[in-house]
Each structure stands twice: as C-alpha cells, then as structure tokens.
Amino acid sequence: MKTLYLIDGYAQFFRAYHAIRSPMSSPVTGEPTNMTFGFVGMLLKLLREEGSIGEGGNHADYLAVALDVSGDKGTFRSQIYPEYKATRPEPPEDLEPQVDRCLGMLETIGVPVLGAEGFEADDVIATLATRLTRDLADLRIRIISKDKDLKQILSDRVELYDIHKDESYTAQRLREELGITPDQVIDVLALMGDSADNIPGVEGIGEKTAAKLIAQYGSLDDLLAHADEIRGKRGEKIRAADGRLLLNRELVTLRTDLDLSLDLPDADRRHLRLSELEPILRELGFNRFRDELRTLLGDAAPDAASSPPIGGLFEQQTLDSPAMHADYRAITTLDDLDAFLERVRQTGFVAIDTETTSLRPVQADLCGVSLSVEEGTGVYIPVRSPDPASHLDEATVIERLRPVLEDPDIAKVGHNLKYDLIVLRRCGIRLRGHDNPSEADAGSTLRGDTLIASFLLDPLRSSHSLDALALALLDYSTMPIRDLIGSGKEQRTFDQVPLDLATPYASEDADISLRLARRLIPQVEREDLARLWREVELPLVDVLASLEFNGILVDPEELQRQEARLRGQIDELRERIREVAIEEAGRAFDPDSPKQLAGILFNKPDHDEPGLGLRPLKRGKTGPSTDAEVLEKLSLDESVQTRLPELILEYRQLTKLVNTYLVNLRECINEQTGRIHASFHQTGAATGRLSSSDPNLQNIPIRTPIGREIRRAFIAPPGRVLISADYSQIELRLLAHLSQDAGLIEAFKSGEDIHRAVAARIHRIPIDEVTPEQRSGAKMVNFGIVYGITPFGLARRLNISTSEAQEIIDDYKRRFRGITTFLHECVEQARTHGFVQTMLGRRRPVPEIESTNPARKALAERIAINSVVQGSAADLIKQAMVDLHPHLDWRDTLGEESAPPDPEHLSGVMMLLQIHDELVFEAPQESGGHARDVIVQTMESAMRLRVPLVVDAHISQTWYEGK
C-alpha cells in the first residue's frame, strides 16, 4: 500500500512563522525568511524521515499541498455566517511575501498545490481524501495537520500526522480518547463551538463534555430531541442554543464534493525536481538545509535521475557556484615562500587568514597561514598537518613572515582579523598595516576588515560571515568547513586534515577575503562612513584583540564559595516552597516545572490537582504563563494571599546565578593563564554596542546585591590593582547634547543630582523640596524617554496610576521641549532617509518606520530614537578605547607584557574589559593612581559635548570593590 501526504499549507505556514520569531533575512535579497526557514525544514524532514519509496510503512510515495482560497466574496462559510473568523487578526506584514516564496518554491520542485475558490484547505483535503480512498483501494493518506475539524474524515486509511512531534492521530485513537466515531465529530464540534473561528458553542461545554453527550445520545439531532431530559443549567443552555447549533453544524461540516482532482503521477515523490531547490536554499542563506538536500539527492531513487548527482568536496564546489577560476597551492619550501613574500612586497598589499586547532584564539595552535595578492589565487603555508615532514616548521615560517606581516606599509585585509591578530600575536607576530593608513597612504582603500565593512554598510544583515557575504556579493559558495573536519563527536581538528584538502579550503578564505575587500572597502570609503571606519572601527579591532588576549584574572575558589553558599540557600528555599504549597494548596510541586507551578497557582481548589485558584494574567501556548512579569505582578498584588510568587522569583534568581554564571564562569577560566578571555564583538548589535561571549560578561547581574557579589571573583594579581572607569549617566548627557535642550543642559552644568534637578523643573519647586517619590519619577522618565516609555510602563514601575504617570510624562515634555523636538526629528530622519545616524555617522536602518501595523510602526519609532542616543554612546566608548590603546600594554605571549613605542606609555597598564559604559584595567599597584588619572582624562575628552563628560573611576583589588 502506498501513502499520499497532504499538507495543510497555511496551517504549516503559520506554525513555522510563530515557531521562529527571531528576525531572519536572506543574505542575498534581504527578504524575511523566518517562516520560509521553518517550512523548508518541515518539508525536508518529511522527505528525509518519510522519504523512502516502497511498499508499506509510512513512506512518502506522493506529496501535495492544500490551500485556502477565499475569493472576492470570502468562503462559503463567511457567506452564510458573516461573523465566521471575523475576530482573527490580520496576518503579519512579513508573512505574505514568505508565503509567496514558499509557493514559488513548491512550484519549482514540482509539488502540486491545490485549492478551490471559496473553500478552505480542510475542504480540499476532505474532498481528496474521500475521493481517492474510495477509488483506490491500495492508497492510504496522512494529513499533515493538527486541525480538529479534520478528525471527521478519519478512517482506517486516513490519519492526521504531526510531523514535528512524529505523532499520528487515527480513528482508533479518537474512539479511545473521546468514545466517538469520526462521523460524530461534526456534532461534537457544533456543540462545543470554536473560538478561533468565532463559532460560539454551548457555554460551559468543552470537547470532552460534548463528546460524552454525543456518545450518549448518538447524534446532535437526538441530543436536541431529548434536551428536556438534561437537568440544570446545562440543559437550559443546550435548549437555548437549539437554532444556533444547527448553523454550527453546517459551518463545521467539511465539503467532500469540490470540483477538483489530483492525478497521483503528478504528486509522485520520484518526480520531484529536488536539485532545483539548491539555488533557492543558497539564495536564502539556508546552508544547513543544503547539506540535508545533498543527502536526499544522494539517496534518491533511480527514477529521480533528472537530479544531478552530488559528488565529493571539490565536485560540489563546481555544482554550487558559477564558474570562477581559482589557482590555489601549498607553499612547502623556503624558496617558494621567499619568492611569494617578495611578490607581496612588490604588490604592496596582501589578504591574510589563519587556520588553527580551535575557535578560541587564545588557546589555538597555528596550523597554517593563507595569503592572496590576486583575485582567483591563493597560497597556503602549512605548519601543522598529518604529515609534518611534507612542509616547513612553524618557527621557520614565522621568521620569514614576520617582516612582511609587521610592515605597516604593506596593506593587509582579512575577514574577522581580530582572530588572526591574536593567533599571530601568540606566535610572536604583531600584524600591522591592517588598520589606519598613514597620511602618505591615505588614498589606499585596500586595507581593513571585511567583517567590519559589511557591518557598517548593513548592520541589519542576518549574517556577516565570510560564507554569507561570498554568496550574497560574489554569488559564490565557499567550501563548508564541516566537509573537512566533520561535526559532533567525530569532529577532528584542522591539523588532522590532509594537505591536499586543507590547501584549497584555506587558500579560498584568503582569496574570498581579497575579493570582498575590493568590493566592500571602497564602498565604505565612498559613503559617509569613512571617519567612523578609519578612526574608530578599524583601530578598535586591535583594541579588542588586546582585551581578549589580556583576559581578566578570576578566583575559582571564590566562585566555588559563592556557589556553595547559594546552593544552600536554594535548598532552604525549595523546602520553604514545599511547605507553603502543602499548607496553602494541599500538595507539593516541582519549583523547576512551570507547568506544575501554573497548576498550583491557577487550578481551582476542587480540581483533580488542586491549586490556589488565582486568576491567570497571561497565557502561553501550553496554558497560563508563570514568567517573571506574571510572578512580579502577583507578588505585588495585595489581594493575592500567598508568598509563592515571591518565593519562586527568588528561587529562579538564585538558580540562574548558580547555573548561568558561577558554574559557567568557572568553566571558562583558561587553565594556562588562570584568566577568562571573553570574546568581544563589534558586529553584535545594530546600534554599534559591543557584545561579548564565551562567557557573556555583559549579562553579569548588577541590579541586586547578590548578583553584584559575583564581581568579587574578578581580581588583580599580587602587586597589581584593578581600575574601573565608568561613564556617568552617559545616555542622558548625550540626550542633552543632541537635543540642545537648555533646561537639561543647565541641569548637568549645575553639577546637581540630575534626577532631583529634573524633578524640580517638572514640578516647579526648589530642588531641596523634591521628595524621593518625585525623584524616582524623574529618574524613570529620564532613563525611559529614549526607549519610548509609556504611561502604563511608568505606572507599573512606580506603582502609581496610569493617569498620574501620564501627568509626569506630560510635565516632563512641557519643561524639556527640546527633547520632544529631538525625538520627533529622529523619527522624521528615519522616515525621510530610511535610517538614522549617530554622532559619528553610524547608520541604523529602520525598515518598518512606514509600517501599516501600529505596533510595528511604534516599535520602529522607538528604535529610531534609541539608536541615535545609544549608538552615540557606543561611538563614545569605542573612541575612548581607541584613544587609550596606544598608551597601554598587552601581552606578548601568555605571561609577558609588551609596550609599544610611546613616550606617554603607561607602563604595565592593560585594558581588560568593556562592559556597557565601563572599562576595566589592570595596573601596577605603585602607579595605579597616575594610571587612573590618565584614564579619566582620556575618557572625558573622547568627545566634545555641550555638557561635561564625567567618569567615575576606582582602584581596588576586586572588580566588586571598584563599584
């Protein structure tokens, strides 16, 4: 028996859209792709897991998609009942273009898509399933849908299938769960109604009760005929709904007589043109799915001969990419190396990339260096491989490379050069010529980092990786690294890759970097981004390399002490939660289970699993939400007579501190240095803010005393101190400067407490009469104004009424009119140009500023405002880091320090961390005071503003004491 899979198209489109809410876009076209990604994943999973063709089982022998087609008059259901589905919201703006993309893709590969004007996909499926199983005795049908309406067409050869959970729903399961047959489903649906379709059922009757009544009486007609026998409120409500229920039955009955048909040969999986899916996946940037497709094509049945074969690594390069000449070779002798380096000197520029044994540069061993001076060419100079005798050793290669790579007059380009800087520094090479060109060289555009160039030109691009940019800008698919080293438990390091495979892969990286540099860097120079590029972002690559290389010393024993202490508190809290739950609800529960917590809080006391009967404040996909917002509201609600929400909030905070921070931080300590060497990223946020990972130091909690304790573990070595330097209220100061509001500027120039000064102006009272409540209100508005704070949000934070909050905001805007004007100008700039700019010219596109969706438009306006202020703050601290860098040390090797030739050099002082508006340094104890003064002076003079820049700096032995 063969199997036809019928996909409910829009059901899967919506499911994919809501399953992946993170923004995704094509690196080539820029179109949204989150839904397309989910739908393609579902389709490939179906072909992969159900794709074997043969007799029996669940093999996907045939495949088709059914769609809703409303037509000008809607569906036949909306014509007989205009309120049908009237309460459904409009689909998201970014859904429809993705639907079009998916339908075009289905047409390209040959999947039949069926619909009938005026009818829904369920009617199409019902018609096909009924007709095909009647005419073909050897065919079974699996419907990829969870729609309960489709249960009415279940039979011994028709079932529903949830591909995401790999669960089938059959007629037998229907009988076991609800005690009814598929024929009775219609009557059950009519009785219970459907809120999603705006079909009102009988109040108080859900699926189980409806099924029980229909099973008892046999049908809806018989139930209504005996409605007088049903006692109490239920009987009254059924009798009152008599006429309504007959209309409901007409609405929920699926049509099986549509004028459409499906020729099974057209749906034969063996006739799918799967090879034509590959360029679509490449254009969309779905590289992971391209691997799955290659596997499918390799496993295809002989009848699928129209699909081109998938060969080995280098044959795949030909299949994936347009014809592109490439001359890649390995350099394994001194003569060849010297000859190539002489060519580099004559050319005056070179693209560079390194291959290593690890993604973490501080612990990576060099495997080789790849170089390119001409597009379409590249060389790989190996120093580690499975056959060390076949090439030069590391010491010899480094000795020859050093003069060229350290020559500032030879321009260097690369992709993510920060990584290469650290790797080469560990080998004793200080890469130069990649950052700012000298005045004599100012006309040169071929130097820099293509990762940074791409980010400056398009900060909203979903990926700035070398692979994504090659595909988007060069229409070229690079060789996947996993084809060389594998993945998962079988993954090997690059030094284990044979040289004949390593050479083209490594050489290609340098070649592609050169090609991208020739396209991206001149574009940056032509745009109004040259100053930001040359004076801040390129020099910052060096700065961040030094931060990562330096690392910060961490005391693992302090982390263990804090972990032990918190685990004790967690155990006590767990026991207290158990006691309170038993006392108040009569039973215990697992505090780590949101579902069990929801039961305790929101189930009625007479429920099978009794609870406290609280009113749910928000619902998620699986029931009442118990997220932090809900628990905070419940804990502040005086009418809620339980301490459980407060106790759970504390429990979650402590468990997160232990698992996310204390344990993770200890695992991130480098065994060789005793330091944490976090990675800092210039391309992590569209506003220009730096981000960090491995670990994410930006997220170390500082709002609570117990969270701040973690900073005690960050320490200075013996004889040295930490210097913490933090910009004071930087975003407010930038707001004053950018808005030119006289009142706010004067408040800063007066040197008074800014929040008290603003409160005094709002309320028109002397500053010494400002109450703590008034200061809190001013502080919230001060910090919230650039984030588009709403009266509701302010009211919730201050625990006041919405009208009081609105009055505070209105008074603020009246007293500081320059700010209101500035906020309006930010939004107008976004509308006029499609982007906003920071003080140094950084651009942030705001594509949804003209959205017809009010929520999206309001969010875009907040982004426009926030990006100018927060982006300018990012520019400022980056400028300060660049200004400080020439005066500081960074480590030559893991343990020794190196000072660049600078008469104002602060000997022994190193920059370690950048966290929000704060910089952390390490300095010799005896010169810590002088270093602090120079750091403060440099940071405060990084930009000239209409208000003074103020830096708070402290010397301490631990990061905690510095705050």
Q: DSSP letter string over 281-300?
A: HHHHT-HHHHHHHHHHHHT-
Residue type, 14: F
Rounded Cα–Cα distance for residues 185 and 171 (Å): 11
| Structure tokens, 352 | 């560079």
End-to-end, the C-alpha distance of the chain in Å comes to: 72
| pLDDT at position 786 | 67
Averaged pLDDT for residues 144-172: 92
At 607, the pLDDT band (50, 70, 90 cuts) reads: confident
The secondary structure element, H or E, covering residue 890 is strand 890-891
Say if CB 210 and CB 188 are below 8 A apart: yes
Say if residue 127 is exposed, middle or buried (CB neighbours under 10 Å; 0-12, 13-18, 19+). Answer: buried
Which residues of 219-365 form beta strands (DSSP E)?
A: 327-330, 349-356
**pTM, to two decimals:** 0.73
Distance of CA 692 to the CA centre of its chain: 14
The yes-or-no verdict on residue 712 having pLDDT over 90 is yes
| pLDDT at position 443 | 37
| pLDDT at position 902 | 55
The secondary structure element, H or E, covering residue 706 is helix 705-708
Strand, helix or coil for residue 532: helix
**Over pLDDT 70: what percentage of the chain?**
92
Averaged pLDDT for residues 793-806: 78
| pLDDT at position 303 | 39
Q: Which residue has the higher pLDDT, 750 or 342?
A: 342
Q: Which residue has the higher pLDDT, 628 or 512?
A: 512
**Within a 13 Å sphere around the CA of 403, how many CA atoms are in the beta-carbon half?**
8
User: What is the rounded average pLDDT for all residues in the chain?
Assistant: 87
Name which of 544, 566, 523 is nearest 884 in CA terms: 544
Averaged pLDDT for residues 903-925: 89
Averaged pLDDT for residues 226-232: 84
User: Phi and psi (nearest 5°) for 395?
Assistant: -60, -45
| Structure tokens, 683 | 């391309």
The yes-or-no verdict on residue 308 having pLDDT over 80 is no
Helices (H), 486-555: 499-526, 530-531, 538-550
| pLDDT at position 439 | 39
| Structure tokens, 311 | 């060969």
SS3 content of the chain, % helix, strand, coil (to 5): 55, 15, 35
| pLDDT at position 684 | 78
- Of 26-35, 44-53, 854-863, 873-882, least confident by mean pLDDT is 44-53
Q: 394-438 pLDDT, tens per residue?
A: 999 999 999 999 999 999 999 999 999 999 999 999 999 887 554
Say if CB 697 and CB 881 are below 8 A apart: no
Averaged pLDDT for residues 707-717: 93
Q: Which residues contact 180 (CB under 8 A, 6 or more apart)?
A: 174, 188, 211, 214, 215
At 301, the pLDDT band (50, 70, 90 cuts) reads: very low
Averaged pLDDT for residues 36-55: 77
The yes-or-no verdict on residue 795 having pLDDT over 70 is yes
Residue type, 658: V
At 285, the pLDDT band (50, 70, 90 cuts) reads: confident
| pLDDT at position 891 | 63
| pLDDT at position 150 | 95
The yes-or-no verdict on residue 321 having pLDDT over 50 is no
Rounded Cα–Cα distance for residues 65 and 112 (Å): 6
Rounded Cα–Cα distance for residues 180 and 212 (Å): 8
The yes-or-no verdict on residue 687 having pLDDT over 80 is yes
Rounded Cα–Cα distance for residues 642 and 355 (Å): 59
The yes-or-no verdict on residue 56 having pLDDT over 70 is no
Residue that is written with structure tokens 């960090």 in the block: 692
Q: 917-943 pLDDT, tens per residue?
A: 999 999 999 999 999 999 999 999 999
DSSP 8-state symbol, 660:
I
Q: 642-659 pLDDT, tens per residue?
A: 999 999 999 999 999 998
